[in-house]
């Protein structure tokens, strides 16, 4: 069986992945808060953990892997969006509008992620479906001395009651207080204590509890859902590195205190953040966009996915239009090569690269080597395990349009160069351009009146980029 090595944030090193039960490999990834469209940064963990999911299914078998990714559908941002709708005249109670907004946004999210080639996880729980398990866990934490009610409808977790707090982020509690914006409140025994349950007004979503009508804090949601669906111990917990503290740190504290018999998650994986044209994505810089913005701008989902996979998941990733354009051309070239070939065995080099902490850039270099060696079946199998075999008619049309644009430009350039050469009697520039076109697999037809360029066998639009 293939050995998979993963960088475990908790251990701060790569480790050989050894599942608790090879017949029941379990992974939990923190999903979105469903108040708006997913932006490109939200898509990166989806694509990263989709590749890991595919790898685990390949190694252990599709029936032996369970992937859970949640939806946070109770949150202040969702409430604010629903309130804005109500103030704009939308019909229904505020609670009904919250539910409506959540349903709408979940559907958007799933459609956008599917467009990126991401498989649906095996289970996609909503926080609002697990309120009772959350209440039960909070009651248990209070009984064990790890949490306390404030008498005004809040329940807080006592951070100092868990001696290993800070192990994931590698910082002491004092360091965290100094380096983070910690909410100081009269109802806290300690500044680092965090909310497990809070009151809810009559018009907002809320549930009856021993502490009054209210709703859960963010962190308890994932602890309760993962325990209910995967048990007190499971294999992998993933998410963006922005969740490492406080969300994942708080999850660990709650879960290990509520279920000391378990280990919670054994391997912690975190992906780095995303930039756009070398800058942090933000609305103030005008470089903020959603996945749907890109899809509607005619960036096919497979191209977006391919750009994301060209950078290792633990390194900052930079989205650029140049990367998207070259990705479209390379995927088009591979699609053109497909012909009647079917996927064969996944090349050993691709498996080795993915098994080495999801080294997708190295896996892509192996795909390019398959192309050079003419191993089309291996190329197709490698693309498939990376979720890159979703070219549809719309994407193929875009590829053809892109190819036509550059060929039309180079046709005019060659024609003009030839006309100039006829005057100077120096045809070296014509010969050089014609040779470069031929080496890129372009069929060149020249007449006195015109130049025609068409893709031929082995056409590679990427080789034409330097001729513009």
* pLDDT confidence band for 460 (50 / 70 / 90): confident
**Strand, coil or helix: what is 25?**
strand
- What pLDDT is stored for residue 266 in this prediction? 98
Confidence of residue 120 (pLDDT cuts 50, 70, 90): very high
The reply to whether 267 and 280 lie within a common domain is no
* pLDDT exceeds cutoff 70 at 339: yes
Q: Is the pLDDT confidence value at 340 over 90? A: no
Residue 390: predicted pLDDT:
59
Burial bucket for residue 124 (CB in 10 Å: 0-12, 13-18, 19+): middle
Percent of the chain with pLDDT over 70: 96
Q: What is the pLDDT of residue 205?
A: 87
Tokens of 17: 């992945």
Is residue 303 located within the same domain as residue 256?
A: no
Angle at 135 between CA 106 and CA 28, to 5 degrees: 45
User: Which pLDDT value is given to residue 393?
Assistant: 65
Token output for 55: 């790898």
Look up residue 118 and give its DSSP letter: P
Q: For residue 20, what are the domain limits? A: 5-271
Average pLDDT over residues 115-122: 96
**What band does 184 get if pLDDT is binned at 50, 70 and 90?**
low
Q: Give the mean pLDDT of 222-238.
A: 98
Report CA-CA distances (Å) from 228 to 126, 231, 234, 257.
12, 6, 11, 16
Q: Is the domain of 129 the same as that of 46? A: yes
283 is in an annotated binding site: yes
Q: Which of 221, 242, 271 is the C-terminal boundary of a domain?
A: 271
How far is 129 from 433, CA to CA, in rounded Å? 64
Instruction: Say what the pLDDT of residue 329 is.
Output: 87
For β-strands 25-29 and 65-69, DSSP reports them as parallel
Q: Name the token pair of 332.
A: 């088009």
- What is 223-245 written as a DSSP string? HHHHHHHH-SEEEEEEEEGGGII
Q: Does 336 lie in the same domain as 231?
A: no
Q: Do 370 and 429 share a domain, yes or no?
A: no
Whether the ω angle into residue 246 lies within 30 degrees of 0, i.e. cis, is yes
Say whether both 170 and 290 belong to one domain: no
Judge if 48 and 176 occupy the same domain: yes
Q: Based on the fold, state whether residues 151 and 191 are members of the same structural domain.
A: yes
90-103 average pLDDT score? 86
439 is in an annotated binding site: no
Window from 93-107, 258-272, 340-354 with minimum mean pLDDT:
93-107
Residue 260 pLDDT exceeds 70 = yes
Quick one: 404 and 372 in the same domain?
no
CA 249/CA 256 separation, integer angstroms: 11
Provide the CATH number for the domain around residue 132. Answer: 3.40.50.620
Rounded Cα gap, residues 94 and 134, in angstroms: 23
Contact 164, 256 (CB under 8 A): yes
Nearest residue to 81 via CA among 131, 129, 37:
37
Q: Are residues 16 and 148 in the same domain?
A: yes
Distance, in Å, from the CA atom of 109 to the CA atom of 103, rounded to the nearest integer, reads: 10
Select from 386, 420, 440 the last residue of a domain.
386
Which of 254-263, 312-321, 395-404, 446-455 comes out lowest in average pLDDT? 395-404
**How many Å apart are CA 226 and CA 169, to the nearest integer?**
21
Q: Which of 113-117, 131-135, 137-141, 420-424 has the lowest mean pLDDT?
A: 420-424
Given a cut of 90, whether residue 311 has pLDDT beyond it is yes
H or E stretch including 274? strand 274-276
Per the structure, the count of domains in the chain is 3
Mean pLDDT, all residues of the chain: 91
Which residues face 276 on adjacent strands? 279, 319
Q: How confident is the model at residue 183 (pLDDT cuts 50, 70, 90)?
A: low
Domain final residue, candidates 369, 386, 403: 386
Residue 402 has pLDDT above 90, yes or no: no
Rounded CA separation 126/139 (Å) = 21
464: closest CA among 333, 344, 368, 374? 333
- Report, as an integer, the average pLDDT of 255-283: 93
**What is the percentage of the chain residues whose pLDDT exceeds 90?**
66
Q: What mean pLDDT do residues 374-381 have? A: 95
| Helices 301-309, 360-373: crossing angle, 10 deg rounding | 110
Quote the CA–CA distance of 106 and 112 in Å, as a whole number: 10
Interval 251-269 mean pLDDT? 97
257 appears as a binding residue in the annotation: no
Say if CB 242 and CB 39 are below 8 A apart.
Answer: no
CA angle 103, 308, 460 (to 5 degrees): 125
Whether residues 69 and 28 share a domain: the answer is yes
Q: Is 30 annotated as a binding residue?
A: yes
Quickly state the pLDDT bin for 308 (edges 50, 70, 90). Answer: very high
Distance of CA 258 to the CA centre of its chain: 30
Do residues 75 and 123 both lie within one domain?
yes
Query: What is the pTM (predicted TM-score) of this model?
Result: 0.88
pLDDT of residue 185: 61
What is the tens place of the pLDDT at every residue in 124-182? Answer: 999 999 999 999 999 999 999 999 999 899 999 999 999 999 999 887 777 666 555 55
């Amino acid at each position: 069986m293939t050995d998979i090595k993963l960088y475990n944030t908790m251990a701060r090193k790569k480790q050989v992945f050894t599942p608790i039960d090879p017949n029941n490999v379990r992974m939990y990834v923190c999903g979105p808060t469903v108040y708006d469209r997913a932006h490109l940064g939200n898509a990166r963990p989806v694509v990263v953990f989709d590749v890991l999911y595919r790898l685990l299914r390949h190694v252990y078998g599709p029936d032996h892997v369970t992937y859970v990714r949640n939806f946070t559908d109770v949150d202040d941002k969702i409430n604010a969006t629903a309130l804005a709708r109500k103030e704009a005249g939308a019909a229904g109670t505020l609670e009904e509008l919250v539910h409506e907004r959540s349903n709408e946004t979940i559907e958007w999210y799933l459609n956008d992620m599917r467009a990126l080639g991401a498989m649906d996880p095996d289970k996609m729980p909503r926080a609002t479906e697990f309120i009772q398990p959350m209440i039960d866990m909070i009651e248990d934490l209070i009984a064990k001395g790890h949490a306390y009610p404030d008498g005004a409808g809040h329940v807080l977790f006592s951070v100092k009651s868990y001696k290993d707090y800070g192990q994931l982020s590698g910082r002491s509690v004092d360091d965290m207080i100094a380096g983070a914006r910690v909410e100081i409140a009269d109802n806290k025994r300690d500044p680092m204590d965090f909310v497990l349950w809070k009151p809810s007004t009559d018009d907002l979503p809320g549930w009856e509890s021993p502490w009054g009508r209210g709703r859960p804090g963010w962190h308890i949601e994932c602890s309760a859902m993962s325990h209910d669906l995967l048990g007190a111990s499971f294999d992998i917990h993933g998410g963006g590195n922005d969740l490492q503290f406080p969300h994942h740190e708080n999850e660990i504290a709650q879960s290990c205190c509520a279920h000391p018999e378990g280990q919670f998650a054994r391997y912690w994986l975190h992906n780095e953040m995303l930039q756009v044209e070398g800058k942090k994505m933000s609305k103030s810089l005008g470089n903020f966009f959603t996945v749907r913005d890109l899809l509607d701008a005619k960036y096919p989902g497979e191209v977006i996915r391919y750009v994301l996979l060209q950078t290792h998941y633990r390194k900052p990733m930079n989205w650029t239009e140049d990367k998207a354009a070259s990705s479209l051309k390379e995927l088009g070239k591979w699609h053109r090569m497909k012909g009647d070939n079917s996927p064969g065995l996944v090349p050993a080099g691709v498996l080795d690269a993915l098994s080495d902490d999801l080294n997708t850039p190295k896996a892509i270099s192996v795909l390019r080597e398959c192309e050079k060696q003419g191993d089309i079946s291996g190329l197709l199998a490698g693309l498939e395990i990376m979720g890159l075999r979703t070219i549809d008619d719309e994407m193929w049309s875009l590829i053809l349009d892109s190819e036509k644009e550059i060929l039309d430009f180079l046709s005019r350039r060659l024609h003009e160069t030839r006309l100039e050469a006829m005057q100077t009697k120096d045809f070296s520039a014509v010969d050089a351009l014609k040779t470069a076109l031929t080496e890129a697999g372009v069929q060149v037809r020249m007449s006195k009146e015109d130049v025609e360029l068409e893709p031929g066998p082995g056409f590679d639009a990427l080789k034409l980029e330097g001729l513009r």
